[in-house]
A = this chain, B = another copy of it.
Amino acid sequence: MTDEMPFTGEPVDSHEAIMRATFYALQEHGYAGLSIQRIADEADLSKSTFYHHFDGKDDLLLSFLEFILEEFDRVFQLETSDDPAADLRTFFAIVLGQYDFCEEIPAVEEFLEAYVELRAQAVRNAEYRAKFTETDEAFTERISALIEMGIERGVFAETDPDRTAQFLMSTLDGVILQNSTRNDSPQSAMYDAIDDYIENTLLAE
């Protein structure tokens, strides 16, 4: 599905079928309600085929987090322009499930809720903790690279790209946490705030 949006078209192999089934099972049942049986049913595979690929639920979910990062990179590549400020907005919109193509993926919000539940597992599970350290770092590097490009081209004012990227990544993780655990929806106000930040803090005078 190289040119396609995530979770559309036919899965190319059983690994991708399982990843996709995990996505939908997480949306529907959350972390606690996720079972190998449900994923096998959703992927239309036998449990033995599943166990050919994965040792169990945690092994699957660690692979799934990797898959999400790869999918993000693939889609972000397709959507980048040559404008660092626009790309930064695209980055946030894709992560928060607010980008145009996200309308084709049902219930992104429910997926972000499952992401928060998964992430809370990392408090007491060292493997999850290592994985989230890695994926947060990867995302932060993407943001840092965009800021660095902006500075080199004179579009952004001089700033420490890593520190600024870490700051923005905290904001992004925070709004995902808030959106999944509050009755209001801080996401749209957040976009305005990010625009303000790009406008008033990042852009060169």
Contacts and interface: CB of A to CB of B under 8 A. Distances in A.
Contacts of A170: 170-172, 174-175, 178, 186, 190, 193
Nearest to A200: B201
Copies in the complex: 2
Interface residues of A, number: 48
A132 B130 CA distance: 27
A182 B122 contact: yes
A73 interface: no
Q: Is the interface of A mostly helix, strand, loop or mixed?
A: helix
A43 B203 CA distance: 54
Contacts of A137: 184
Interface in A170-194: 170-175, 177-178, 180-184, 186, 189-190, 192-194
Contacts of A113: 123
B189 A163 contact: yes
Q: Max chain B CB contacts within 10 Å: which of A119, A169, A177, A184? A: A177
B180 A123 contact: yes
A120 B117 contact: yes
